[in-house]
Amino acid sequence: MSGLWLLLRFALALPWLLLKVTTRKLFGYLPRQWPWSFALVVEALRFFVAASMAPLLAGTKLNMPSPKLPKRLQSQTEQRTGQLAGRDIEWQWPRGAQPKRCILYLHGGAFVTGSIGTHRALMAHLAHAAQARVMGLDYRLAPEHQFPAGLEDCIAAWQELLASGERPEQLAIAGDSAGGGLTAATLLALKERGLPLPAAAWLLSPAVDLTDQRPSWQNNAPFDYLSPMLGHLDEFVPAYLGQADPLQPLASPIRGDLAGLPPLLIHVGEREVLHDQVVAYAEQARLAGVDVTLVVGANMVHVYPAFVGLVPQAAQAVAEAGAFLQAHLPG
């Protein structure tokens, strides 16, 4: 689907979206802590998610925008592109610095969309907060490349990082949404294969249970922009997994043996549809003896740390991630 066509549809729908947000704000149907700009962005994202359901499920890739960094952030950030394990990558790190810390970042997008470009700003903010080199990985996407293709790309990238001389005690893995699920699955796969684990991991609203039917899907639907997916979960899961069993741990990491995983920092929004599965995963990891820090963003939505500049909770979450990773990875 053409991104231009999607933007045209959004432009035509914008007056209705503005009216909808205004009405919901005035009548108290949205958290009063939400700034108007944030409420409008959430509603716009809900529109795009709803509009993209059919083409994505049909295997049509959206021409997602890959915006450059804001000028100030760009002036402070080194960027370099390349390839690793046969996949495109993009490095970002604070300009003028030579950090030893390295973070493999796995972008979100429901396993079928998203890219390094869509998550470029979040990765740059993370690089500065953690004083680290952040490497975004362009792993393969479904439905053209179904499970476990994307996961194998993540494992291969990790192995090549180690082969290139990176030390596991200076490495972390991070990811949001589907990328958070892949982060959790990659940790399990590395453990199963006897490969070195990272020193820590940051999971942002991770999709860790592909069979999830917990109450937050219904309770938080009025707030979260992922709510249009609710009626399509029975289609999305097979689009990603093909004939694979959604109950297997590498597809739904919440069902895996989490003992022995490295320290985890997990952020989830109080008002997001994945809230309950993420909280359940954090509790299961804690019971397995993992050092888990769970942060629930009050009144926040899916992957709220990505909204730096719109809500203070986002910048706070990125700062928390930076401090966590600096504490666990030598500089």
Active site residues: 177, 272, 302
CA–CA separation, 56 and 256 (whole Å) = 29
Burial class (CB in 10 A: 0-12, 13-18, 19+), 144: exposed
Closest to 224 measured CA to CA, from 181, 286, 177: 177
CA–CA separation, 231 and 221 (whole Å) = 11
Amino acid at 36: W
CA–CA separation, 248 and 142 (whole Å) = 18
Measured from the Cβ of residue 212, the count of other Cβ atoms closer than 10 Å reads: 20
Query: Residue 51 half-sphere exposure, CB side, CA atoms within 13 Å?
Result: 20
Percent of the chain that is helix, strand, coil (3-state, to 5):
45, 15, 40
CA–CA separation, 13 and 9 (whole Å) = 6
81, containing H or E segment:
strand 77-84
